[in-house]
Structure 1
Amino acid sequence: MLLIGAVVILVSLGAALMSSHANVPDESEEKRSSGTAAARTLLKALPEAKRAQAQLPFDSSERTNWNYVPMKRAGVALAELDANQKAMIDPLLRSALSPAGFETAQQIVQHESILAEIEKNPRRDPELYYTAVFGEPGPRAPWAWRFEGHHLSVNVTHVEGQTQVVAPLFMGANPARVPYGPKAGQRLLAAEEDLARDLIRMLPEERRTRAILSGDAFTDITTRNDPTVRSLSIEGLAAGDMSQAEQAQLRKLLHVYSDRMTESAAREQLERIERAGFDKLHFGWAGSLEPGKPHYYRVHGPTVLIEYDNTQNNANHIHSVWRDLERDFGGDLLRAHYQAHRGDDHGHEH
């Protein structure tokens, strides 16, 4: 049954990948409006009871209560939707994720069937991914949505129809390398691991010493599922102290994460990193430099924090996350919005 469930989800989450992704003149505007339209269409298709379950107030504490472990969540699970309703989630995800990011999200969902086989655990279920909409999708008042389950959390916030923030964005993989079966050898999140290891290995001894945070890998991403990233010292080797080749490798790694988002969302994030100073990004590594051994790294700067760990299940279990230190869940944009609309009831619609 699990394999059949995975096929159903592959069809519903994969239909988008069969269409062309031609460039459009104003991709950012199209993606923002398509996200609004997709959320409205999905909510309209749900019967009243499920719509009440799927749609929460924008100021609900559940909006920032994100997680990446298997658990019951706010919203409506894929298991509760019919095939037509499941297919409506595709456009919502595509409004925030690039084609490659969408495909990775699809693979993470399917991966639950592989994990169920490995662990002989029927609770690993690709149907237990939840969609929640916060507020009323529209061009004025802020609203948000989330698609989330084990090892996947896509959090998207729309502010005044002008900006779409895709953060936090978490992707994980267990197993990181499939040990046996039809997909033996498949590696989810391979570039996230390989490019970072190549970077730490290419550093000469003096700079590598500065980049290494600990000889032992941290057991998980250190900020876990914090609604707001806790105060974390910027440690490791500064990009400003790297050679041109090392900086180029760091940029490649940065793009692996930003390229999970739509082109416009990624461009906005990267431009803010550049304005804050690319040379202020720091790369830090903990644990072994050898493949198959526990390891951890982070990329940390004024506007962004990337964390990655591969320590559990004999270092075959990856967690990775992009945090926007200024705009997670809307952040500074929301504060500016409410300040601009103080006293305006429409500015506080939920």
Structure 2
Amino acid sequence: MTTFRTNSVAIALLLAAAWSARTACGESGVAAAAPAAEAGAPTAKIVSAADLFLDALEEPQRSKTVYKFDDDAQRARWSNLPVGMVPRGGISMGELSPEQRGAAMDLLKAALSKQGYEKVMQIVEADEVLKYNQRGRGGSRGGGANSGPRFGRDNFFISFLGEPSVTEPWMIQFGGHHLALNMTLAGEQGTLAPSHTAAQPASYEMQGKAIRPLGNEVEKAVALMASLDEAQRKQAVLGFRVRNLVLGPGRDGQMIEPEGLKGDQLNEDQRRMLLDLASEWTGIINEPTAAAKLEEMEKNVAETWFAWSGSAEEGSVGYFRIQGPTVFIEFAPQGQGEAGLNHLHTIYRDPTNEYGARWWRKHD
């Protein structure tokens, strides 16, 4: 399998510029780079960026963006499907001025790791490529229902549940087709569970650079499978075909029994490979929060399962699942062979802390 490598900083800047730039009336709206992240807890930095974004909005836009924290309908209003097929709440990027979009991007930079921000921007740009391939079907602004599928970077939405706070729980949602980030913050604690990352196309070129938003996930899973001996592989491979996400969007509150190969049957190198693979999801959030999650997963790695469905031949990529006490990850190609690898769905959940409920239920 060919491995594509890109300069993460350069690609992230290219994608951010592509989103923010507008040439109407000769005006350029390229967003300025966000300040470098400070060491230590990130909540104050995220709140500051959120306040700057909200301050940039007009009052009608702000009212459209901010929901009450207890709005469970909005909390669960996310999907892998395009806007138009499933309406989103909040305000779309297409409704924002270049300066407002820049403030939204600065918020994402503050909330996510560098690698996570790059991945998110690459997923968004893949949808812009899909829009082009669909003959420009970008739709109108605003995200109304029954308008048919709409693709492209203008059709990604941002919303808040609750007001930004360094002490009280609140939530940032960002997503659209093939992307749903649900970030809950409570003081210095944070989680992205549940979140959905996907890509179609899963490989494209931008300014001569090959880009694969979920390329690391593919390569690391293939490497882990290749490291298994015959007995381990026999345990890992399920005896039935799994064709899509079992606990994808719309499956909140559900869980399944672990299957496959248990972590206590892995050697130390394989355990590290499993954790490194899981970090492609848990590492989307800002670095300090991701580090805390990795430490939690390390403690539970012996109780974490790895399952595979599909061809187990060397170099093949099929459905796979990582399931532990505090992590549930699925990766599902949407089809067979190479065609399936150009349309990918994934999900990340924490069965003990969906939407950060472990923290904010204490406030009820």
Matches within 5 A, 1:309-348: 309-312=332-335, 313-338=339-364
Corresponding residue number in structure 1 for 2:166? 139
Q: Rate the CA distance shift 1:292–1:207 in 2: closer, same or farther, 3 A.
A: closer
Q: CA deviation at 1:102?
A: 0.5
Asked if the contact 2:30–2:98 (Cα under 8 Å) also holds between the matched residues in 1, the reply is no
Which runs of 5 or more structure 2 residues have no equivalent in the other structure?
1-14, 23-28, 138-149
For the aligned residue pairs, the C-alpha RMSD in angstroms reads: 2.6
Give the secondary-structure state (helix, strand or coil) at the position aligned to 2:69.
coil
- Higher share in helix: 1
- CA–CA distance in structure 2, aligned partners of residues 255 and 103 of structure 1: 15
Q: Rate the CA distance shift 1:235–1:10 in 2: closer, same or farther, 3 A.
A: farther
Asked if the contact 1:211–1:236 (Cα under 8 Å) also holds between the matched residues in 2, the reply is yes
Q: CA deviation at 1:54?
A: 0.6
Q: Say which of 9, 34, 44 aligns to 2:19.
A: 9
Q: CA deviation at 1:21?
A: 4.0
Corresponding residue number in structure 1 for 2:9? none
- CA–CA distance in structure 2, aligned partners of residues 146 and 14 of structure 1: 23
- CA–CA distance in structure 2, aligned partners of residues 279 and 14 of structure 1: 47
Give the secondary-structure state (helix, strand or coil) at the position aligned to 2:193.
strand
Deviations 1:170-193 (A, max 9, x none): 221111123x78658532211101
Q: TM-score, normalised by structure 2?
A: 0.81
Q: Say which of 128, 139, 146 aligns to 1:113.
A: 128
Give the secondary-structure state (helix, strand or coil) at the position aligned to 1:269.
helix
> AA paired with 1:53?
K
Asked if the contact 1:145–1:156 (Cα under 8 Å) also holds between the matched residues in 2, the reply is yes
Among the aligned pairs, what percent are the same residue? 29
- CA–CA distance in structure 2, aligned partners of residues 293 and 119 of structure 1: 29
Matched, 1:289 2:289: no
Q: Rate the CA distance shift 1:8–1:186 in 2: closer, same or farther, 3 A.
A: closer
Which runs of 5 or more structure 1 residues have no equivalent in the other structure?
339-350
- CA–CA distance in structure 2, aligned partners of residues 59 and 101 of structure 1: 27
Give aligned pairs, total: 325
Deviations 1:249-292 (A, max 9, x none): 212212222222211111221222234x2100000001123589
- CA–CA distance in structure 1, aligned partners of residues 251 and 319 of structure 2: 21
- CA–CA distance in structure 2, aligned partners of residues 271 and 299 of structure 1: 16
Asked if the contact 2:192–2:282 (Cα under 8 Å) also holds between the matched residues in 1, the reply is no
Deviations 1:41-82 (A, max 9, x none): 222221121111111111112113222221231000001000
Give the secondary-structure state (helix, strand or coil) at the position aligned to 2:346.
strand
Corresponding residue number in structure 2 for 1:199? 224
Deviations 1:298-339 (A, max 9, x none): 10001101111112444321112221222221121122333x
Corresponding residue number in structure 1 for 2:281? 257
Matched, 1:308 2:318: no
Q: Rate the CA distance shift 1:229–1:286 in 2: closer, same or farther, 3 A.
A: farther
Q: CA deviation at 1:91?
A: 2.3
Deviations 1:148-181 (A, max 9, x none): 111111111122x231222223221111123x78
Q: CA deviation at 1:200?
A: 1.5
Corresponding residue number in structure 1 for 2:151? 124
- CA–CA distance in structure 1, aligned partners of residues 20 and 119 of structure 2: 12
Corresponding residue number in structure 2 for 1:344? none
Matched, 1:176 2:236: no
